Amino acid sequence: MAICRTVTDLLHSRHALYTVVPHSHTHSSRETADAARIPADQLAKAVVLADELGYLMAVVPGSRHVSTVRLSELLGRRLELATEGRIAPVFRDCSPGAIPPIGPAYGMDTIVDDSLVGQPVVYFEAGDHEQMIRVDGEVFLSLLKEARHGQFTH
């Protein structure tokens, strides 16, 4: 599978400069960072949560984990991890488990962990398990300009 259409459409519509970074097939953010030889804190990953209000995408560094308790308190919601099967229709242009961390492009409420702010470079999943997108940190944050920010990882 190539870079998913939603990613390319967003990058082109925002005139974002980017590089495609190929890597060996991986199954986790940690594996991806290792395979591509990049710092895990510069790899943005998507964690999709759900509650009675719908889905929420949390965008966090590959080196960190979402605290659902902290995030739920921050947003006044009762969030839990969404199952892959439940969210697959939303990300139909992506391979299962290869969700790009660009929730607004998929019409999804999104929150970005503050630990991604200030990164000089950010890498993110391109919609398959063998390619990433590399952008300047400021460009990445501009792709998520509609997103909220907060501190909710450990």
SS3 142: helix
Taking the model in full, what pTM does it have? 0.94
- Mean pLDDT (whole number) for 134-153: 96
Structural domain tally of the chain? 1
Q: Give the CATH number of the domain where residue 68 resides.
A: 3.90.960.10
pLDDT in tens, 78-132: 999 998 888 989 999 998 888 999 999 999 999 999 999 999 999 999 998 889 9
Which range, of 28-42, 53-67, 112-126, 136-150, averages the lowest pLDDT? Answer: 28-42
3-state secondary structure of 19: strand
Find out whether 60 and 115 touch, Cβ atoms under 8 Å.
yes
Structure tokens at 132: 């990433």
Domain span at 17: 5-150
Residue 2 has pLDDT above 90, yes or no: no
Q: Is the pLDDT of residue 145 over 80?
A: yes
Split at pLDDT 50, 70, 90, the class of 29 is confident
Three-state SS sequence of 59-123: EEECCCCECHHHHHHHHCCCCEECCHHHHCCCCCCCCCCCCCCCHHHHCCEEEEEHHHCCCCEEE
d(CA 23, CA 25): 6
Provide the residue type at 126 as one letter: A
Q: CB–CB of 95/127 below 8 Å?
A: yes
Instruction: Write down the pLDDT at residue 1.
Output: 54
